[in-house]
Amino acid sequence: MTEKELEKHNFLTWRSYADAKGLENAKEENHEVWERLYSGYANEIEVINSTKQVYESVSQHETGIQKFDLSLKISI
C-alpha cells in the first residue's frame, strides 16, 4: 500500500466514525489539510454518507436488516 493509499484509507475510516464535534475540531485545527483531503476524496465521502443514510433508514424500521435477511432465507 502506497503512502497516498494509506492516507486515503486512514482519512476515510476516521471520517466515517468521527462525530460532528470531531469533524469541526479537525476543520478548525488543520484547515489546509482538511480541505485537501476532503476535496480529494469528495466522491468517496459521498458514497459513505449515502450508504450510512440507507443503513440508518433500514435499521430504524421494526424489521431491521437481520430480520429482513432471515425472512428472505425462510421464504425461499
Q: What is the pLDDT of residues 5-39, one digit of tens each?
A: 999 999 999 988 888 899 899 999 999 999 999 89
Q: What is the pLDDT of residue 76?
A: 47
Q: What is the pLDDT of residue 1?
A: 86
Q: What is the pLDDT of residue 7?
A: 92
The 3-class secondary structure across the chain, one letter per residue, is: CCHHHHHHHHHHHHHHHCCHHHHHHHHHHCHHHHHHHHHHCHHHHHHHHHHHHHHHHHHHCCCHHHHHHHHHHHHC
Domain residue spans of the chain: 3-75
Share of the chain above pLDDT 90, in %: 36
Look over the chain and give the mean of its residue pLDDT values, rounded to a whole number: 80
Whether the CB-CB separation of 41 and 8 falls below 8 Å is answered with yes
Residue 64 has pLDDT above 70, yes or no: no
